Structure 1
């Protein structure tokens, strides 16, 4: 199916999301910090990236900004998954180029549905 990069420093959330998406047939790349996520995205460009905003070292916002700045990853869809739900936080996420913003706590089914929808749109755009 599709390759999805998931980055979250909360191992329980990372494992839950990875389990749900792998059960749906996706190939996964996981990272527990922003710098590793960026390295992995550069190494094998995924079809979509799911980033926690608050990670040690390099935040999900920083990773998203870097992905958008590089030609190889600039069009990869990015979903931010975060507990930061203030209007200014959401605005900051879209300002750095995120395609979607999901608040924790979240429904794994909703995340999977949004990923499926986003992948469908990006595949149609690539044709």
Structure 2
């Protein structure tokens, strides 16, 4: 087993998608933790201290918008790279994500190879 490429917290309320992302990233050499929604993410993020958070937008409890905003505005987590992954592909949604300060925005259905490349690039930036 090679060097860990980075630590990723995968946040999605859909277990199938959460596991799909986690398995792909694990096979690629990332250390992966998961959370089931935004509230779970915020509860776990300081324990996990990921380089990158992949964040679904439409979730119960706390959605991805609120979660991303809280990650960005908390000094302890503001450095973490955030990738929004969502079925919402409208330009307004992309602008909202960029306004919050997310680092990347992928739409479902996403290409696993594209996701891996985005996470790889962001993790490398986070670790440099």
TM-score, length of structure 1 as denominator length? 0.93
Q: What is the root-mean-square deviation in Å for CA atoms of aligned residues?
A: 1.0
Gaps of 5+ in 1: none
Output the CA distance in 1 between the equivalents of 2:98 and 2:87. Answer: 15
Which position in structure 1 is the counterpart of 2:48? 44
Q: Aligned residues, how many?
A: 124
Which position in structure 1 is the counterpart of 2:7? 3
Q: Does residue 96 of the first structure (1) align with residue 100 of the second (2)?
A: yes
Output the CA distance in 1 between the equivalents of 2:122 and 2:11. Answer: 18
Shift of 1:40: 0.9
Shift of 1:99: 0.5
Which position in structure 1 is the counterpart of 2:78? 74
* Corresponding residue to 1:61 among 60, 65, 72: 65
Which position in structure 1 is the counterpart of 2:119? 115
TM-score, length of structure 2 as denominator length? 0.92
